[in-house]
Amino acid sequence: MGSSSDTTCTVATAPPSPTPTSPPPQLAATTTTVVLSPCAACKILRRRCVDRCVLAPYFPPTEPHKFTTAHRVFGASNIIKLLQASSYC
């Protein structure tokens, strides 16, 4: 009879590393839009500038003097009402 030998081979593998193109799971689940720099109006009024802010297209963060002047003349609530009314036309 022939001799038989049983050999076992163990190979250690490292867990797969995440690819640099895939975002972490906790970031992929969030769907909120973050505004990096609030518009000048929201800065001056000290409020959160949302992605659908009606004042942002007219008062960019680099020109706060424009909102300050308009705010003195018309008031913030009147400016917002005026811009919302003009967006429906």
* Residue ranges making up the domain that contains 60: 54-89
Q: CA–CA separation, 49 vs 43, rounded Å?
A: 8
More confident residue, 17 or 58: 58
Identify whether 14 is part of a domain: no
Q: How far is CA 12 from the centre of its chain?
A: 41
Whether 18 has a pLDDT exceeding 90, the answer reads no
Q: CA–CA separation, 29 vs 23, rounded Å?
A: 10
Identify whether 5 is part of a domain: no
Identify whether 71 is part of a domain: yes
Q: Which amino acid is present at 17?
A: S
Identify whether 34 is part of a domain: no
Question: What pLDDT is recorded for position 29?
Answer: 47
The count of structural domains within the chain is 1
Instruction: Report pLDDT digits (tens) over 34-83.
Output: 557 999 999 999 999 999 999 999 999 999 999 999 999 999 999 999 99
Identify whether 61 is part of a domain: yes
Identify whether 82 is part of a domain: yes
> Could you tell me the pTM of the whole model?
0.57
Identify whether 45 is part of a domain: no
Extract the tokens encoding 34: 């973050």
Question: What pLDDT is recorded for position 22?
Answer: 55
